[in-house]
């Protein structure tokens, strides 16, 4: 079952997590610029205080889309939401590009 969740989440990461591409900066660009980082709960956050309105909107839209996918997976597999988020976060961390920020032990770390 865990393999199925990982495979399904991988597909969601590749196809669905680029939500917000209509914004001035898309998620990939914001991550590679160091403006947004990945958190261990499978969500994103601005890496600097007082982010621009575009970055805040991108974070909020991305997280809403991800949470929707995570909730669907949790319901479908009858497992806790936090477990799905942890699996997704690990996959996202594994796929992170060099130079992108990941939150580890409460601190932003460059991969």
Cα–Cα distance, 60 to 57 (Å, whole number): 5
Contact 34, 47 (CB under 8 A): yes
- pTM, rounded to two decimals: 0.80
Report pLDDT for 25. 75
Residue 20 included in any domain: no
The range of the structural domain enclosing residue 88 comes to: 2-14+25-110
Chunk the chain into consecutive blocks of 10 residues (it has 111) and report each block's average pLDDT, rounded to whole numbers: 61 48 72 96 96 94 96 96 96 96 97 95
Cα–Cα distance, 97 to 36 (Å, whole number): 13
- Could you tell me the maximum CA-CA distance found in the chain, to the nearest angstrom? 41
Report pLDDT for 67. 96
Residue 30 included in any domain: yes
Report pLDDT for 84. 96
Report pLDDT for 22. 44
What is the total count of domains within the chain? 1
Residue 103 included in any domain: yes
Contact 81, 37 (CB under 8 A): no
Report pLDDT for 20. 41
Angle (nearest 5°) at CA 18 between 16 and 19: 85
Contacts of 2 (CB under 8 A, 6+ apart): 87
């Amino acid at each position: 079952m865990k393999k199925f969740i990982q495979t399904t989440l991988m597909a969601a990461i590749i196809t669905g997590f680029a939500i917000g591409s209509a914004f001035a900066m898309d998620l990939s660009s914001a991550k590679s610029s160091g403006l947004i980082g990945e958190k261990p709960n499978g969500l994103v956050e601005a890496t600097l205080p007082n982010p621009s309105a575009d970055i805040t909107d991108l974070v909020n839209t991305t997280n809403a889309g991800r949470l929707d996918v995570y909730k669907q997976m949790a319901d479908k597999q009858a497992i806790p939401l936090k477990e799905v988020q942890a699996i997704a976060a690990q996959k996202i961390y594994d796929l992170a590009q060099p130079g992108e920020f990941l939150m580890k032990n409460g601190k932003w770390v460059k991969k």
